[in-house]
Amino acid sequence: MARESTPLLPEKTGLQANLQAGKSTARQKWADTTANLKDGQGFAVNIISEAFVENANSTAVDAPPEFDEWALSGLTKEKCVQIRAKRVKESAFSMECELYESIDITHPVTGEHNITLILAHVKYFHVRKDMLTSRGAVDLTKFKPVARVGDISYARAGDTYRIPVPSWAMEGKIQEALKTHSRITIK
């Protein structure tokens, strides 16, 4: 059964993608990723969920540049709306991106090029409807996103909680609470 996704246009959200293609243990893999991001086809940022983290991890294999990691992953390619690159069909949240700028960063002491900062325009969002709250926000308890945090480590998005944004009318109370290290109640 196909799950329906809700398109979100970036003009309505004001979001942009800032990505880093950093040095990996396999220097060739790093170069391949950076080259793919710069190839002019656009790229999809697919947020990984716990349900398919092993599949996504398999794409980190130190394969030669001509090898297509999609076949190894068991994940499904899906056409994008605004870009030529494909996205991961299993991902409950994907962003179609177009390269804005890439900046090679060098280490200030060694002079070694060790990371490329990728700035992108988000052209289109895909969000599965079953991942949304009644207010239209992504429900992390359903989505269960994970992130690669370096080396071979991944992290789960933990418990979430809400903190109301204070209003300027409460500025005096906020300053007083900060001075006395006490809590304020925002309604």
Q: How many CB atoms lie within 10 A of CB 67?
A: 12
In angstroms, the CA 118 to CA 91 distance is 21
Average pLDDT of the segment spanning 142-153: 86
171 membership: H or E segment, kind and range = helix 171-180
Residue 1 has pLDDT above 50, yes or no: no
Task: Identify the CATH number of the domain in which residue 60 sits.
Answer: 2.30.110.10
> How much of the chain, in percent, has pLDDT values that exceed 90?
26
Asked if residue 166 belongs to a domain, the reply is no
pTM of the full predicted structure?
A: 0.71
Q: Residues 22-65: pLDDT tens digits?
A: 444 445 555 667 777 788 889 999 999 999 999 998 988 888 88
* Total number of domains constituting the chain: 1
Cα separation values, 49 from 92, 147, 154, Å: 8, 9, 11
- What's at 26, amino acid-wise? A
Residues in the chain: 187
Q: Does a structural domain hold residue 133?
A: yes
Is 186 contained in some domain? no
Residue 181, in any domain of the structure: no
Is the residue at 187 inside a domain?
no
Q: Which residue has the higher pLDDT, 18 or 161?
A: 161
Q: What is the pLDDT of residue 143?
A: 87
Q: What local confidence, expressed as pLDDT, does residue 87 receive?
A: 95
Assess contact for 98 and 120: CB atoms under 8 A.
Answer: yes
In a domain, 57, yes or no: yes
What's the rounded Cα separation, in Å, for the pair 103 and 97? 16
Q: Are 137 and 148 in contact (CB under 8 A)?
A: no
In a domain, 169, yes or no: no
Q: What's the whole-number mean pLDDT along residues 162-182?
A: 73
pLDDT of residue 18: 47
Domain that holds residue 75: 5-160
Assigned domain for 173 exists = no
pLDDT digits (tens, 9 = 90+) for 100-114: 988 888 888 999 887
- Predicted pLDDT at 130: 92
